[in-house]
């Protein structure tokens, strides 16, 4: 159970008080993987030898009085699109089933340098799109809250591994909601920081101008600690922002008194897939934030359909460009759902893409204008609880899409999915906190206030798996 796993901060306290060792924490994580992954399929590759070597190194550093910070000795896992030197990185695809990168992605390098222990590489929807699929070299991850239900994607293994308590933190990637979606369905926190805040270098691209990297975690504090480690300028990532990284923990418990929060209610209240339990949980969280001293008001944004169209054209075009050569020569090596998503790119024109980029500027300006008057926005993340495997909507029909995450990939604003309680079938519900560019600290602070109200970081959020 997730509640049996101490938080990253608590593990850190125990390590520094010599009440445990990184090797013990890492062996416990590996034991949880061994016990649960046969049913969940969260992992593609378990890196037990690497994890234990990392752990012994961390313990030796503690013994020598060397402290690299809050991640030293902490077990974690990576979505299997993050390059790991000497460890295969498959993208959950037949096309890259045996690819072993020479060097780490920048995020993997930073986590290793911070003293983390890499437990393994996680399932994803193939090339971070589509899914869940049963025609790939590895099975799809299953939702620990109910294995008959999907995890969401594409960071499917990341959501499952964190929800099941295998690790407190797993890295995901988010091009249209692939961190926040599985976080929502699996009852974890999912943080997509501002575009350019976290390096994408060495992470297999899906859509260059929409791709973000970030953590899925059991609790908001875990996400704040992780972002503190991985955020910051990477001069070798062309999108990386040279903007100072704030202190994400200093104000985390500061509450929301005096904050002004906007709710673009028209986004989700009329959405076809929105369910009463999601809406009720959203309103309970809004009430809790008001009770804690925030002013919460409805706001107007451009039509959701415009964000959705803009993002879909950009994603489909850029992804097609990445895969164009392989689609021509190895189409049948992709899973069927992936084929469906990728070939659509051949049906878009250069003018379609430029129009989308023109609209993107207008939409970004519109969101910035609202955020000039409000500290953050609150909106839906997933519109309902996770569906069963046999009830997944057609991935190519976006009118009834079950997520509302894509707008903030289009605009690049920081956005975090936070659990709000349980809905139909006892499955997790969530909302999304959207902040000003590079103001992740406020997003975390609001998320923590919601978490405090729901008790999700404690017993309320423990997964029964």
Partner 1 sequence: MADIPDATAAEFDAAMLRAGLAVPAALRAAVLPGYAELRQQVELLRGLPATAEPSNVFRLHPMGAA
* Nearer Cβ to partner 1 (191/356): 356
Select from 1, 39, 63, 346 the one that contacts partner 1 (CB under 8 A): 346
Query: To the nearest whole angstrom, how small is the minimum distance from the Cβ of residue 12 to partner 1?
Result: 40
Please report whether residue 356 would count as binding partner 1 according to CB under 8 A.
yes
x/- mask, partner 1, residues 51-70, rule CB under 8 A, reads --------------------
Residue with tokens 């090797």: 23
* Nearer Cβ to partner 1 (275/340): 340
* Nearer Cβ to partner 1 (70/130): 130
Select from 10, 293, 399, 425 the one that contacts partner 1 (CB under 8 A): 399
Provide the CB-side half-sphere exposure for 5 (13 A, CA). Answer: 33
Please report whether residue 134 would count as binding partner 1 according to CB under 8 A.
no
C-alpha separations of 356 from 113, 161, 170, 409, 460 in Å: 39, 36, 32, 13, 42
Please report whether residue 316 would count as binding partner 1 according to CB under 8 A.
yes
Contacts 24+ apart (CB under 8 A), 321-326: 321/345, 322/205, 322/206, 322/207, 323/127, 326/95
Query: To the nearest whole angstrom, how small is the minimum distance from the Cβ of residue 85 to partner 1?
Result: 32
Please report whether residue 360 would count as binding partner 1 according to CB under 8 A.
yes
Name the one range near partner 1 by CB under 8 A: 72-80, 174-182, 218-226, 351-359. Answer: 351-359
Query: To the nearest whole angstrom, how small is the minimum distance from the Cβ of residue 359 to partner 1?
Result: 5
For residue 417, indicate whether it is catalytic: no
For residue 79, indicate whether it is catalytic: yes
- From its phi and psi, is residue 258 left (phi > 0), alpha (psi between -120 and 50) or beta? left
Name the one range near partner 1 by CB under 8 A: 42-50, 159-167, 328-336, 455-463. Answer: 328-336
What does the alpha-carbon distance between residue 302 and residue 283 come to, in Å, rounded to a whole number? 22
Please report whether residue 321 would count as binding partner 1 according to CB under 8 A.
no
Select from 25, 87, 313, 406 the one that contacts partner 1 (CB under 8 A): 313
Please report whether residue 328 would count as binding partner 1 according to CB under 8 A.
yes
Q: Are strands 295-298 and 415-422 parallel, antiparallel or unpaired?
A: unpaired
What does the alpha-carbon distance between residue 176 and residue 207 come to, in Å, rounded to a whole number? 9
Structure tokens that stand for 424 in this block:
């139909």
What does the alpha-carbon distance between residue 151 and residue 51 come to, in Å, rounded to a whole number? 25
Task: Read off the DSSP letter of residue 252.
Answer: T
Catalytic annotation, pick one of 93, 105, 154, 417? 154
3-state helix, strand, coil in the chain (%, to 5): 45, 15, 40
Please report whether residue 312 would count as binding partner 1 according to CB under 8 A.
yes
- Order across the sheet with 75-79: list the strands: 43-46, 117-122, 75-79, 169-174, 212-217, 189-192, 415-422, 428-435, 376-380, 260-263, 295-298
Select from 239, 343, 392, 460 the one that contacts partner 1 (CB under 8 A): 343
**Residue 384: Cβ within 10 Å count:** 22
What residues from 267 to 306 belong to the interface with partner 1 (CB under 8 A)?
Answer: 305-306
Sign, CA torsion 359/364/369/373: positive
Please report whether residue 368 would count as binding partner 1 according to CB under 8 A.
no
What does the alpha-carbon distance between residue 446 and residue 375 come to, in Å, rounded to a whole number? 10
Please report whether residue 361 would count as binding partner 1 according to CB under 8 A.
yes
Intra-chain end-to-end CA distance of the chain, in Å: 6
Name the one range near partner 1 by CB under 8 A: 126-134, 211-219, 341-349, 442-450. Answer: 341-349
Name the one range near partner 1 by CB under 8 A: 162-170, 197-205, 344-352, 373-381. Answer: 344-352
Which residues carry out catalysis?
79, 154, 178
Residues at the contact surface with partner 1, assessed by CB under 8 A: 209, 305-306, 308-310, 312-313, 316, 324, 327-328, 331, 336, 339-340, 343-344, 346-348, 352, 354-362, 364, 394-399
């Amino acid at each position: 159970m997730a509640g049996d796993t101490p938080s990253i901060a608590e593990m850190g306290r125990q390590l520094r008080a010599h009440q445990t060792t990184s090797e013990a924490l890492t062996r416990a994580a590996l034991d949880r993987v061994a016990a649960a992954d046969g049913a969940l399929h969260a992992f593609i590759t378990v890196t037990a030898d690497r994890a234990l070597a990392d752990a012994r190194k961390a313990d030796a550093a503690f013994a020598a009085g060397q402290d690299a910070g809050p991640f030293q000795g902490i077990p974690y896992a990576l979505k299997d699109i993050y390059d790991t030197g000497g460890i295969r990185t498959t993208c959950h695809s037949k096309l890259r089933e045996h690819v072993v990168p020479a060097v780490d992605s920048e995020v993997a390098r930073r986590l290793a340098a911070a003293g983390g222990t890499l437990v393994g590489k996680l399932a994803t929807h193939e090339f971070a799109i589509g899914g869940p699929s049963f025609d790939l070299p590895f099975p799809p991850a299953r939702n620990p809250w109910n294995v008959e239900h999907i995890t969401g994607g594409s960071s499917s293994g990341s959501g499952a591994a964190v929800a099941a308590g295998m690790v407190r933190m797993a890295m995901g990637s988010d091009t249209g909601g692939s961190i926040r979606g599985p976080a929502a369905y699996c009852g974890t926190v999912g943080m997509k920081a501002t575009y350019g805040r976290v390096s994408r270098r060495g992470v297999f691209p899906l859509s260059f101008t929409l791709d973000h990297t970030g953590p899925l975690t059991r609790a908001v504090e875990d996400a704040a600690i992780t972002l503190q480690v991985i955020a910051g300028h990477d001069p070798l990532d062309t999108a990386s922002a040279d903007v100072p990284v704030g202190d994400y923990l200093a104000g985390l418990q500061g509450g929301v008194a005096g904050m002004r929060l906007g709710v673009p209610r028209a986004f989700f209240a009329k959405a076809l897939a929105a369910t009463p339990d999601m809406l009720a949980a959203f309103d309970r969280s809004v009430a809790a934030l008001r009770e804690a001293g925030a002013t919460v008001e409805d706001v107007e944004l451009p039509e959701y359909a415009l964000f959705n169209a803009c993002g879909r054209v950009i994603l489909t075009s850029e992804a097609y460009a990445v895969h164009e050569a392989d689609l021509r020569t190895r189409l049948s090596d992709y899973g069927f759902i992936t084929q469906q998503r990728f070939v659509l790119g051949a049906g878009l024109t250069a003018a379609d893409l430029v129009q989308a980029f023109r609209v993107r500027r207008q939409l970004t300006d519109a969101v910035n204008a609202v955020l000039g008057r409000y500290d953050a926005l609150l909106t839906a993340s997933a519109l309902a609880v996770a569906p069963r495997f046999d009830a997944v909507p057609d991935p190519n029909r976006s009118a009834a899409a079950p997520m509302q995450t894509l707008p903030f990939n289009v605009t690049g604003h920081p956005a975090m999915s936070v659990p709000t309680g349980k809905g139909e079938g006892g499955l997790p519900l969530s909302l999304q906190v959207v902040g000003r560019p590079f103001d992740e600290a406020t997003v975390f602070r609001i998320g923590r206030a919601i978490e405090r109200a729901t008790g999700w970081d404690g017993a309320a959020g423990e997964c029964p798996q």
